[in-house]
Structure 1
Amino acid sequence: MDFVSKSGNKLSGLLLSPKNNIRTDLIFLHFHGSAQNLLTYHFPMIKQLTEKGFQVFSFDYSGYGFSEGKATRQNVLNDAYSALDFIKKSNEFKNKKVIIFGQSYGGYLASVIGSNRQNDIDGILIEGAFYSHRKEAIYTSNFLANIVYDGIRAEKEIKKNYKPILIIHSKEDKINPIEFGRKLFEESNQPKYFMEIDKGHLDGLQYYGDSIKVKINEIFR
């Protein structure tokens, strides 16, 4: 399911529908991380959510996979907003609740887009995210990363959100430390929920899929 972004780029999208859809009333709009692309890297992760009975729509940002254009911060931000527009305007998803599901960089995007488009969503699910480009660069590099342009900070944007939010983060995450997830949670408004797990970066669905399924059904009613 391809669509055109506000950036003018044609983006490649993928709709995953479960054999046994336990929640026909909702769809997850997935924002993936910055590593690789949807088919070669992120598909196995979101497939696990579909295997739990949920419908998921995901896509590649500009410059990723089969999507056109260049992967700039502004393009990716435009792409995320455009994906939400696409879901809301599509007859196939009419009257469905929309839960934004962001992983890693996508979790940063989910915080920003979800908080600024609350009328179009029903909740936010975040896993292994960061809240500041500069803070993440400092963690993965060194103090020289202080020169990284921060731009929009997710922990400031998320203060605007009042829709239910579930933040999942592993205390063993080596890419984005759990302090990043806790910071997003701290700045969030109620109703909010934090799920601390073990294992590596974005391993939640693989090892805690059943528990996450229960949480989803409890929180996003």
Structure 2
Amino acid sequence: MPLTTFLLIITAAVALYLLFIAYLYLVQARHIYCPTAEIATTPDKHGLKFESVNFESSDGLMLHGWFVPRPSIDAEKERVVLFFHGNTGNISDCITTLEMFHHLGLATFIFDYRGYGQSQGSPTEQGTYDDAEAAWAYLLRDRGIKPEDVVVLGRSLGAAIASAQAARHPPGALVIESTFTSAPELAAEMFRIFPARLMSRFKYSVRDNVANIHCPILIVHSNDDDVIPFHHGTRLYEAANEPKTFMEISGEHAQGFHTSGPQYLDGLKQFLKGAL
């Protein structure tokens, strides 16, 4: 092969490599945030009473959520799950989760981040943190819930947001499911031939967050997770402070709570019994 031809091939390959790096850098947000606007169903269609809630973020966006009360007012305290859903869809995809919490006798406040469902704006990393802060403030200010009676629970990307919120404002307990140590670390594993750590526009450093959290924490991960490998869960457990609990479940990414339903519910019940 002539040297000039070889050099042209190498130059073209390098150019394509750099173009793909630029493409990955520019489209990251599309892969991190996959919202839908349509509310496909509501809790009342599944036998759950609920209140539709609108509340405002610190930068003036109107956010939307649902407050699902606990099934009985006989309990001494109203304990509330502040739930952070994953990166796809919206709150209407979480009915099964709401039913599970209701079964455990817990109230739930679930909300959509900016750009999801009926919430205004477009999602950003800082925006999701601001929205978490607004949801927390709504529970404490508008509903009179005490911090120690709030269970902050997040799934997948929602766990990254939930852990950041719990690091800022300690709740009664924190539960994080199916999440990563950090966005750059996960990206580096997914795109091994690219400088993914350097390319990542998102931090979402869950490991740093849990290292600064001192409330009881439950880390849940499935050994079948093919999106966020199991070792992310175990590494988060290693980084977390006591008191901490690890629950291994089965099922695909962010679906283990359903696949391992009885085990998941019992584990969550036992954790909350000791934590609250």
Please give the TM-score of this superposition, normalised by the length of structure 2.
0.72
For residue 88 of structure 2, give the secondary structure of its aligned residue in structure 1.
coil
Q: Could you tell me which runs of 5 or more consecutive residues in structure 2 were left unpaired when the two chains were aligned.
A: 1-52
Is residue 210 of structure 2 the alignment partner of residue 158 of structure 1?
yes
Structure 1 segments (4+ residues) deviating >6 Å = none
Residue 173 of structure 1: SS of its match in structure 2?
coil
Shift in Å, 1:42: 2.5
**Cα distance in structure 2, aligned partners of 1:152 and 1:36:** 19
> In the alignment, which residue of structure 2 is the partner of 1:26?
79
**C-alpha contact (below 8 Å) 2:125/2:202 kept by paired residues:** no
In structure 2, the partner of 1:217 is: 272
Distance 2:131 2:115 in 1: 11
Equivalent position of 2:184 in the other structure: 134
Matches for 1:118-129 after TM superposition, within 5 Å: 118=170, 121-129=171-179
Give the Cα–Cα distance (whole angstroms) in 2 for the partners of residues 46 and 138 of structure 1.
34
SS across alignment from 1:162: coil
C-alpha contact (below 8 Å) 1:22/1:53 kept by paired residues:
no
- The answer as to 2:64 corresponding to 1:9 is no
Equivalenced residue count is 218
Cα deviations by residue, 1:35-77 (Å, 9 ceiling, x for unpaired): 11111x2233333222332111010000000000011111111
- 1:110-129 deviations in Å (ceiling 9; x for gaps): 211101212xx111011111
Please state if 1:49 is matched with 2:101: yes
1:200 equivalent in structure 2: 252
Letter matched to residue 82 of structure 2: L
CA drift of 1:198 comes to: 1.2
2:127 corresponding residue in structure 1: 75
Whole-angstrom CA distance in 2 between matches of 1:21 and 1:159? 36
1:5-53 superposed Cα distances (whole Å, 9 cap, x missing partner): 11321011101224346854411101111111111x2233333222332
Indicate the larger mover: 68-77 or 206-215.
Answer: 206-215
CA distance in 2, matches of 1:211, 1:204: 13
Judge conservation of contact 2:83–2:154 (CA < 8 Å) in 1. yes
Post-superposition CA distance 1:95-149 (Å, at most 9, x none): 761110011001111211101212xx11101111112111223344444333113
Distance 1:84 1:175, change over 3 A: same
User: For 1:201 and 1:95, how far apart are their aligned partners in 2?
Assistant: 30
Change (3 A) 1:217 1:148: closer
Q: Is the 8 A contact 1:25 1:96 kept in 2?
A: no
Is this contact kept in 2: 1:123–1:164, CA < 8 A?
yes
User: Contact between 1:52 and 1:209, CA under 8 Å: does it hold in 2?
Assistant: no
AA matched with 2:275: F
The amino acid that maps onto 1:218 is K
Match of 1:38 in 2: 91
**Between 209-218 and 125-134, the greater mean CA deviation after superposition:** 209-218
Q: Which moved more, 1:72-81 or 1:209-218?
A: 209-218
> Secondary structure of the equivalent of 1:12?
strand
User: 1:179-194 maps to which residues of 2 (within 5 A)?
Assistant: 179-194=231-246
Distance 1:65 1:56 in 2: 18
Q: Deviations over 1:166-200 (max 9, x none)?
A: 11111111121111111111111100110111112
Moved more, 81-90 or 149-158: 149-158
Paired with 1:6 and 1:17, the residues of 2 have a C-alpha distance of 26
Question: Which is worse superposed, 147-156 or 179-188?
Answer: 147-156
